Amino acid sequence: MTMHSLARKMCALASGAAVTALLVTAPVADARDTLHKFPLEAAMAKAQASGQLAPGIKIFFGAQKFAKPTAQLGPARTNKKTNFFNKSDQEGCEWAFLSAMITMTQYAQRLGGNAIVNVRSNYRNNEFSSETEYECGAGNVTGGVALVGDVVKLP
């Protein structure tokens, strides 16, 4: 065996080992799935300050009280993900929350509603209802917020 063929075989083995290592570790890259609860007040303040929520849509989380609706317009569901690169979990979750709220308020507006009531977190189809917190799942690379609620017309 010549030095040249030995070098080629070693290079092939090293390439194969690198590919194998990449395939084995790739699923682990976003394996973290941390479930957080963050305060609604701060997230809603940022969402409203963004100016991106549909105007005139009131939002009621959990069991917050609201007037008797004059019309039930249907359910609203959203599941928004965002890139967590160079963001803390809370920053990434607030981005995903903002995206979810923009989608929900625009949907309510399209249906002719003026409120979304009974809004609750629904991460991985596990409902969490709170008047003060929302849930967010955070991975190594991405994270997301899933919300459900009911679009209504309030007096």
pLDDT of 25 reads 46
pLDDT of 80 reads 97
Question: What is the share, in percent, of the chain residues with pLDDT greater than 70?
Answer: 81
CA–CA dist 68, 124 (Å, integer): 30
Full-model pTM: 0.79
Residues in the chain, pLDDT under 70: 1-30
